[in-house]
Amino acid sequence: MARLIATPSQTIGPFFRVGLWQPEWSDLTRHGAQGSTIHIEGSVLDGDGQPVPDALVEIWQADERGIYAHADDPRATPGDKLFRGFGRCGTDANGRYRFTTIFPGVVPGDDGAQQAPHVNMTIFARGMLRHVVTRLYFSDRAGQNASDAVLRSIDDAKARETLIARRVDTAGPTATYVFDVHLQGEGETAFFEI
Sign of the C-alpha dihedral computed for residues 78, 140, 40 and 183 taken in this order: negative
Distance CA 39, CA 16 (A): 22
Residue 24 — φ and ψ, nearest 5°? -70, -15
pLDDT higher than threshold 90 for residue 194: no
Give the whole-angstrom CA distance, residue 73 versus residue 50: 38
Answer yes or no: is pLDDT of 180 > 80: yes
Residue 74, pLDDT score:
65
Over residues 72-101, the pLDDT tens digits come to: 766 667 788 899 899 999 999 999 999 999
Tell whether the model's pLDDT for residue 172 goes beyond 60: yes
pLDDT of the residue at 78: 79
What contacts 24+ positions apart, CB below 8 Å, involve 159-166? Answer: 159/190, 160/190, 162/187, 162/188, 162/189, 162/190, 163/134, 163/135, 163/136, 163/137, 163/189, 163/190, 164/136, 164/137, 164/138, 164/139, 165/40, 165/42, 165/136, 165/137, 165/138, 165/139, 166/139
Residue 127 confidence (pLDDT): 82
pLDDT exceeds 80 at position 15: no
Q: What pLDDT score was predicted for residue 13?
A: 52
Question: How many CB atoms neighbour CB 85 within 10 A?
Answer: 23
Least-confidence region, from 24-33, 96-105, 175-184: 24-33
Closest-CA residue to 94 (of 133, 135, 136, 42): 42
Residue 23 — pLDDT band, cuts 50, 70, 90?
confident
Please check the confidence at residue 142 and state whether its pLDDT lies above 60: yes
Q: Please report the domains of the chain, with CATH numbers, ordered by start residue.
A: 16-182 (2.60.130.10)
- At 37 the pLDDT is 96
Check residues 95 and 15 and name the one with the higher pLDDT: 95
Q: What is the pLDDT of residue 34?
A: 94
State the pLDDT at residue 110.
80
